[in-house]
Structure 1
């Protein structure tokens, strides 16, 4: 919950150009994410709510970083549209799957790699803005991970779409017979 509560704080300090503070908030949020996951696994306290909120918080931080950096003209708006567009696409896939009686697909490793790239890229760009002395290496590295992450993000999205189509086409093992077709 602390990590979710820190999202608006992160966005405000980022938009204000207080990059060092934004990095600190992001570091605290990342530490609480790590501790939460570690403790949940260690003590068997994994819950469905936690499984839903954790990736939601990840997405919120990515969106907040993208919006804050784009607002300040540090990243182009097209990169925001590319990354947010992929998540809108996956939301649509989720609706389609739910309409066919399926839950969300399992997370694909490529999606995890793409998210890692974005989690690495955006703070590296912020680091270069906060500390110009390191921008000579942090900005190119951040942009390399950002472009690669956006590409992998969509590649994983296409894999999810293919998997969703495959799952929907699978015959159901047991089809319930509607009650109005049963004979007495």
Structure 2
């Protein structure tokens, strides 16, 4: 099966550096460690051990983006890395949100809405992967939504450290930011869904081409 590294949507060309079939690299190790840290973060949040949770979360978040920079600097962009990085981001958000829900810090409707969006996107990613496509180009709306959700998670974790007026106001502000984050998260999902449909339609229009 051929791997497409260029996707054209509405006449715009979004190019991703060519990925290789390499596995034992420093960027992949960083992404893997970020994934391994996620259950530990969720466990700490569920126990209301928020200071240790914040420390591990800060280290994990700092590594996000670092793996991509290293991959490009060392020419270690890999196909598995292009899969591990978004998986780590999605897992960090959904596991942290679930842990905060278990701890009674975040409303359960937010967990359901975020989880449903990620489930739909996972189905579509697996669908277009059948045609040899990797992850779709990241949209700035998706980045903004993810950033707001991460800020919400951190702010709610800090707000759980106390009961004073400051912590109450911080919790209210975090939940407000979380609502905006969910809206942007779903808007990005809609954009990705449309891009995926265009990719699939283009493949259906090329029935005569052999697909390895």
Q: How would you bin the TM-score normalised by the shorter chain?
A: 0.7 to 0.9
TM norm structure 1: 0.84
Find 1:161's aligned residue among 193, 197, 204: 193
- When you count helix as a share of all residues, which structure comes out higher? 1
Q: What are structure 2's unaligned runs of at least 5 residues?
A: 1-31
CA distance in 2: counterparts of 1:96 and 1:44, whole angstroms:
29
Quote the Cα distance in structure 1 between the aligned partners of 2:129 and 2:37. Answer: 31
Please give the per-residue CA displacement for 1:45-72, whole angstroms capped at 9, x wherever unaligned.
Answer: 2222222111111111111111111111
Q: Residue 70 of structure 2 aligns with which residue? A: 39
> Within 5 A, what are the aligned runs for 1:10-159?
10-99=41-130, 101-103=131-133, 104-133=135-164, 134-159=166-191
Aligned length: 175
Q: Unmatched 5+ residue regions in structure 1?
A: 178-184
Segments of 4+ moved more than 3 angstroms = 131-134
Task: State the TM-score, normalized to the length of structure 2.
Answer: 0.74
Q: Which has the higher contact order (CA 8 A, sep 6+)?
A: 2
Aligned-CA RMSD value: 2.0
Q: 1:48 to 1:91 in 2, by over 3 A?
A: same
Whose Rg is larger?
1
